[in-house]
Amino acid sequence: MARPTRLFFVADLHGSAICFRKFVNAARVYRADVLLVGGDIAAKTMTPVFEEGAGWSVSVEGEVRTARSAEELEAVESWVRNAATLPYRTTRSAWQELLADRSRADRAFLELELADLERWLDWAKHRLEGSGARLLLGLGNDDFTPMESVIAHDGFAELTDLSVLPLDDHHELLTLPYSNPTPWKTNRELSEGEITRWIDRLAGSLKRPEQAVFNLHVPPYGTPLDLAPRLGPGLVKIMTPGGEPDMVHVGSTAVREALERHHPLLGLHGHIHESKGSVSLGRTLSLNPGSAYTEGTLLGAVVDLAKDGIRASMMTSG
């Protein structure tokens, strides 16, 4: 009997360098053949590292660190990246000027993000080259479209977005790197109708839809994979009388209908960090590993894909 293809899937790293390193190292830990990120790679913020006299200082979540040498500055900036934010060297006055000009700030953030992605990819290539493991990267609604070019030109990592890629002789990967509309009006959102059209267009090129893996960033609506806190005015969480967040379904109706219509072997999703779990929709097993990137904890899913179906699956945390 042929050895299954072992897939390790994560989503929603949101700039956490420590989570990305754990993800890449999982190729060895789990003996994975394919490493797959299902979207939302980019950090959400940049953090000023202020030049002060003969050194530098930075504050993250109330903790202040300083540097007095190039080596110390490199270590401090590594700490910042592990906290899922991008270090930005500046002065206090220049930082205030940047904050006053939103377009300049947006450009500076994008430049930092693209440079950081290149840094991640260089590190991953060094770790994985020669191992036999493939590195597949997809984007999500919080990512930036120029990141596609960085991945596509990397030479080692493979861009999955809006394509069908072979995983092995029996399984193909279909990827849609967008979400349905969100209250935050993020970078990459589509209407439910557009989601349907894209999935159907991509599915039309599948050789064996019943053996396919659908890598759809947003989870299917009305399942345990898409529960998030209800939001009120000002995007404030609405609480229940018991003091817990009032959870509601926020996934995509189009994704659910597509899974029920095309019956792929596996659905892989992210987007909703709180909804780690699995659900069966007909013959399709759908997984959302969740995300705990703010804690530096990597949540993932290991799936063994055999010729005759899914041999085994397991949620991971570490």
- Ramachandran angles phi, psi of 224, nearest 5°: -65, -5
Q: Whole-angstrom Cα distance, residue 8 to residue 186?
A: 27
- The domain segmentation of the chain, as residue ranges, is 5-44+109-317, 46-104
Q: CB under 8 Å to 142, separation ≥6 — which residues?
A: 14, 40, 42, 44, 186, 187, 188
Find out whether 304 and 6 touch, Cβ atoms under 8 Å: yes
Residue 78 has pLDDT above 90, yes or no: yes
Q: Which two tokens stand for residue 313?
A: 């699956």
pLDDT attached to residue 295: 97
pLDDT, residue 53, reads 87
Q: What is the mean pLDDT of residues 222-227?
A: 98
Instruction: Return the closest-CA partner of residue 44 out of 309, 291, 299, 310.
Output: 291
Q: What is the pTM of this model?
A: 0.96
Range 12-35 average pLDDT: 98
Question: What is the predicted pLDDT for the residue at 2?
Answer: 77
What pLDDT band is residue 1 in, cutting at 50, 70 and 90? low
Residues sharing a CB contact under 8 Å with residue 46, sequence separation 6 or more, in sequence order: 85, 86, 87, 88, 108, 109, 112
What distance in Å separates the CA atoms of residue 84 and residue 17, rounded to the nearest whole number? 7
Q: According to the model, what pLDDT value does residue 168 have? A: 97
CA distance 175 to 202: 8
CB 108 within 8 A of CB 98: yes
5-44+109-317: CATH topology: Purple Acid Phosphatase; chain A, domain 2 (3.60.21)
Would you say residue 301 has pLDDT above 90?
yes
